[in-house]
Structure 1
Amino acid sequence: MSIKDYSIATIDSCVGRELGVSDWVTVDQARIDAFAACTGDRQWIHVDVERAKRESPFGGTIAHGYLTLSLLAALAIEIGLIPPDASAGLNYGLDKVRFMTPVKAGARVRSRVTLMSAEKKEGGRIIIKTMNELQIEGEEKPALIAESLAMLVA
């Protein structure tokens, strides 16, 4: 997806603007299990379906907070966060993250991205800050909000 009138040359005029909303992504148990295997975080509330049905206040397993956070990069790329005239976009960090609502196994999420700032640096680099809201289908509150930083290379 491309964002209308969004480029390295016009990025300043896009500050304060919503850049887009991603497609829905399902966070199923297989994805949760794969994340647990990759990270070693096998806490029962994420991977023990039967125990989570019995004991979890959520009625089943939930995604790791860091799994939901990790989805933001791919969803931002889907939206078109890296302008077509940039040679690269690199993760640069996070300024603020708040996990607000657990994502239950099987739920669908999407990201809403707003450009908060664009700071030009030497060498044709730009540090951009975005507000990312990971929404859960059918839920009033988002799964998380995160101010993320990326370095664009012209």
Structure 2
Amino acid sequence: MKSLSPEKVADFIHAIVEADRNIYTTHIVKRMQEQGVVQAREDWENKNAIPLPAQFLHISSKLVAESGHGIRFRLISLWPIYRRNGPATDFERKALEQLSLNSNTTQRGIVTTGKKRLFQAIYADKAINDTCVSCHNAHPLSPKRDFRKGDLMGAIVVTIPLDD
């Protein structure tokens, strides 16, 4: 059987992650809030609320990481609300800068952490609806408060181990 390239694997993972978050954002969060059923809140665990879309992705990422396959995905931004969501490496920073110039591309490369070689693919993450925009623009820790629907907000990083 022919093996898949890391580029193809990353594209598959990203397609699933993006679809899941878009469904959650558009069909769950937006509808629940519009109908007054429940709010998505940053402090959702302490309130009668549901996670924000970024938190949903983070929770999903933690569950995937616990599977032991070495696959990781996360959100990063040049304008992170929390420092942990900023670029962790020069490669991530440069990829975000390139995406800010052309968000219709994917930035790919091999990075080394200790003795491990990792493939990273970095995909544009755009504001898909007004809920994303209003939350980021109103957050007291947000360094950027003029997002509009369709704007690049950051990126989704997919990391795949290359060595066994």
User: Which structure has the highest strand share of the two?
Assistant: 1
Could you tell me the TM-score, scaled by structure 1's length? Answer: 0.39
